[in-house]
Amino acid sequence: MLELRTPGELDAMRAAGEVVAQVLAAVREAVAPGVRLRELDDVARDALRAAGAGAPFEHYRMLPSMPAYPAVICTSVNDVALHGIPTVRRLEEGDLLSVDAGASVDGWVGDSAISLTVGAPSAEDAALIATTERALQAGIAAAVAGARLGDVSAAIGAVGRSAGYGVNTDHGGHGVGRTMHEEPHVPNEGRPGRGVRLRPGLVVAIEPWFMAGGDDSYWIDEDGWSVRTGDGSRAAHVEHTVAVTEDGPRILTAAAVRSSVG
């Protein structure tokens, strides 16, 4: 069943989303050659603690039989597309890093991800990240009341395919609410005009991830979490938690615009 949120609940979810944006900004600031992935997790932990927010990623299990997730963010480097565990690995100049973060505030969850390079990007990495961000914007633009979920999926997939990137629909977006993963699944490719009708109050994480080599396959590392590209090429992943409203898509995990007036 799809749960719809009231305007007041969306404001409460925005509070969680704003913390996620703060976490990602703090982690982005800390990214530099030589920094360990685990140190980025510490930065995220500090930001969550400062905001009085919970960490929905920590102890998360895909299945009861699977290992619990050991960190508050995912740090996915180069051929790791998703769910990379922050280890003692040090960042190196030229690495392509995706950071996925969650926060919970008053029982509501936000979920968002960014991709960036350590130092200046290669032309290939810059294009991959820019295209993935463009797909996110296309998916958000399609998340309007009266449209269908397939419109969002189709918008995302079209951007990735036109660039020749690999797209896989096993992992994708999802409903967000009091828990991180709710219905519906939001595949990163689909047919327009199909799927559930989008109604005001529906909240979904929209999260394109594309693989530069063009292969659609992936494999799971022996750590039980890291999603690695099948062809070893680099991947980028970006995400926002978005609400469908009467006034159009509302990005709940956008960074707050601080006024310097006054």
Name the residues that contact Mg ion, by CB under 5 A.
Answer: 100, 111, 113, 205, 239
Please identify, using beta-carbon distances, which residue of 18 and 100 lies nearer to Mg ion.
Answer: 100
Please identify, using beta-carbon distances, which residue of 112 and 131 lies nearer to Mg ion.
Answer: 112
To Mg ion, the closest distance from the beta carbon of 171 in angstroms equals 9
To Mg ion, the closest distance from the beta carbon of 34 in angstroms equals 26
Q: How far apart are CA 77 and CA 92, in angstroms?
A: 10
To Mg ion, the closest distance from the beta carbon of 61 in angstroms equals 15
Q: How far apart are CA 3 and CA 10, in angstroms?
A: 12
Please identify, using beta-carbon distances, which residue of 113 and 142 lies nearer to Mg ion.
Answer: 113
Please identify, using beta-carbon distances, which residue of 205 and 243 lies nearer to Mg ion.
Answer: 205
Instruction: Give me Rg for the CA atoms of the chain.
Output: 17
To Mg ion, the closest distance from the beta carbon of 24 in angstroms equals 10
**Residues 84, 90, 93, 98: what is their CA dihedral angle, to the nearest 10 degrees?**
20
Q: Which of 262, 256, 251 is nearest to 10 (CA)?
A: 251
Compute the half-sphere exposure of residue 146: CA atoms within 13 Å on the CB side of its CA.
3
To Mg ion, the closest distance from the beta carbon of 124 in angstroms equals 24
Please identify, using beta-carbon distances, which residue of 99 and 211 lies nearer to Mg ion.
Answer: 99
Q: Which of 39, 84, 33, 35 is nearest to 57 (CA)?
A: 84
The one-character DSSP state at 90 is B
